[in-house]
Amino acid sequence: MARTESNMMPLGTQAPAFLLPDTVSSTDKTFVDIKGNKGTVVMFICNHCPYVIHVQDEIVKIANEYAEKGLGFVAISSNDVENYPDDSPELMKEHADKYGFSFPYLYDESQEIAKAYQAACTPDFYVFDGSDACVYRGRMDPSTPGNNQPVTGEDLRRALDMLVDGLPIDRGQFPSMGCNIKWKAN
């Protein structure tokens, strides 16, 4: 695993559109389908990354808590499944079932959506307001495997609380850190 930081999409960027297969419902989903009336959280994750596994339970808690407050959630896996078969769509569905995902888990086979979002690592979090403008991108909290900091989701929760309350979100944001997205060889 190559430890990689997120690219930090410029704030204000409009959410790139997508149409991707959902491994949970076996239907295709668009950004509009998953969008919440107050905002939307787009997460790039995968099944096997230790950084994702470290925070997976908190991701599910946050999604369940904030979906009730008008936010939409979606997870996307963009890894090359030929070289990383643990991230195959079949195993994505198993992963979603195991952790009790209440949100779609989309498969970005072409990796074009990861590129459109400037995703670099797993996990990588993006928050868009009700007008689909990026208002937060970066880490969930300072915890990583082995650093002995508790998993709280504090950075992401703070941004989501501000968004729900209609307050400006602090622009001092920290990049996420995790395994690099496993890009296909060209």
Residue 3 banded pLDDT, cuts 50, 70, 90 = confident
Walk me through the domains of the chain, giving residue ranges and CATH numbers. 3-180 (3.40.30.10)
Q: What is the per-residue pLDDT across 29-52, written as a single tens digit (0 to 9) for each?
A: 999 999 999 999 999 999 989 999
pLDDT confidence bin for 136, thresholds 50/70/90: very high
Residue identified by tokens 């959280």 is 41
pLDDT of residue 6: 86
Q: What is the 3-state secondary structure (H, E, C) of the chain?
A: CCEEECCCCCCCCECCCCEEEECCCCCEEEHHHHCCCCEEEEEECCCCCHHHHHHHHHHHHHHHHHHCCCEEEEEEECCCCCCCHHHCHHHHHHHHHHHCCCCCEEECCCCHHHHHCCCCEECEEEEEECCCEEEEEECCCCCCCCCCCCCCCHHHHHHHHHHHCCCCCCCCCCCCEEEECCCCCC
Instruction: Give pLDDT tens digits for 153-172.
Output: 999 999 999 999 999 998 88
**Can you give the pTM of this predicted structure?**
0.95
